[in-house]
């Protein structure tokens, strides 16, 4: 499995022949509610051809109305897994798409990739996270969430190989300290901190945990 950080909480997972795109944010639309993006867009991202698109919640830097129509339009038939808050808006997109509304406990299988939806605690009450399983390896993308111990009891895996989680501590997200604790409590072998540097000046070195990979935007990480 190959993981590529696309900035903010965006990610690309290549699982054999299956490509999974998560929360793509390739515009500057958040400038209207926050600030200008601080990381440039690599134009190669527009050539991504995802088999599955996962959107965790309805905030502009996750469900971006300037980015997603490039991948969900009348020329491309897309399969998109998203919670109710997002799917309600996706119904207005052009084209014929497989728009799957997910909530905690939903499982979706595509070839040999299994996606399991888990809960999140965020300002969008429908927010979710996703666990992607491929050939016995698991990657847990928490999406935007606060540290909430009851969440740990609902994770349907005793061990997570890699967890990808926010560390910015703003906008109803875990800070670096709570994120490290979260990663430890789910027995994550590797932690990948995200949600930094795009709309803030946060240095990821604040995330102090062994077995951490600090991602570089657009650089592949073999998991």
Phi-psi map region of 161: left, alpha, beta (phi>0 left; psi -120 to 50 alpha):
alpha
CA 52 to centroid of chain Cα atoms: 12
Quick: pLDDT tens for 189-201.
Answer: 999 999 999 999 9
* Domains of the chain by residue range: 2-215
The pLDDT, as a whole number, for residue 133 is: 98
The mean per-residue pLDDT over the stretch 81-90 comes to: 97
Indicate if the pLDDT at residue 99 is higher than 90. Answer: yes
The arrangement of strands across the sheet holding 190-194 comes to 107-110, 113-119, 128-134, 137-141, 162-166, 190-194
Quick: pLDDT tens for 12-42.
Answer: 999 999 999 999 999 999 998 889 999 999 9
The pLDDT, as a whole number, for residue 34 is: 85
The pLDDT, as a whole number, for residue 159 is: 86
The mean per-residue pLDDT over the stretch 161-184 comes to: 97
The mean per-residue pLDDT over the stretch 59-78 comes to: 96
Is the domain defined by 2-215 classed in CATH 3.40.50.2000? no
The pLDDT, as a whole number, for residue 111 is: 95
The mean per-residue pLDDT over the stretch 84-93 comes to: 96
The pLDDT, as a whole number, for residue 177 is: 98
The mean per-residue pLDDT over the stretch 92-119 comes to: 97
What is the three-class DSSP state of 200? Answer: coil
pTM for this structure? 0.97
């Amino acid at each position: 499995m190959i993981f590529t950080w696309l900035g903010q909480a965006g990610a690309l997972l290549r699982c054999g022949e299956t490509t999974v795109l998560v929360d793509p944010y390739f515009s500057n639309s958040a400038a209207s509610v926050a600030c200008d993006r601080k990381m440039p867009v690599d134009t190669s991202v527009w050539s991504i051809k995802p088999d599955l698109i996962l959107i965790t919640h309805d905030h502009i830097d996750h469900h971006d109305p300037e980015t997603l129509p490039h991948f969900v339009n009348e020329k491309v038939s897309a399969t998109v897994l998203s919670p109710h808050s997002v799917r309600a808006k996706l119904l207005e997109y052009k084209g014929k798409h497989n728009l799957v509304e997910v909530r905690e406990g939903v499982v979706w299988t595509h070839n040999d990739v299994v996606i399991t939806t888990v809960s999140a605690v965020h300002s969008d009450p429908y927010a979710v996270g996703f666990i992607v399983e491929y050939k016995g390896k698991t990657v847990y993308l928490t999406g935007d969430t606060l540290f909430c111990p009851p969440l740990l009891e609902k994770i349907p895996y005793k061990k997570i190989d890699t967890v990808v989680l926010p560390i910015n501590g703003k906008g109803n997200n875990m800070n670096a300290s709570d994120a490290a604790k979260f990663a430890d409590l789910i027995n994550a072998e590797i932690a990948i901190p995200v949600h930094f540097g795009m709309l803030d000046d946060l240095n990821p070195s604040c995330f102090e945990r062994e077995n951490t990979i600090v991602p570089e935007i657009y650089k592949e990480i073999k998991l």
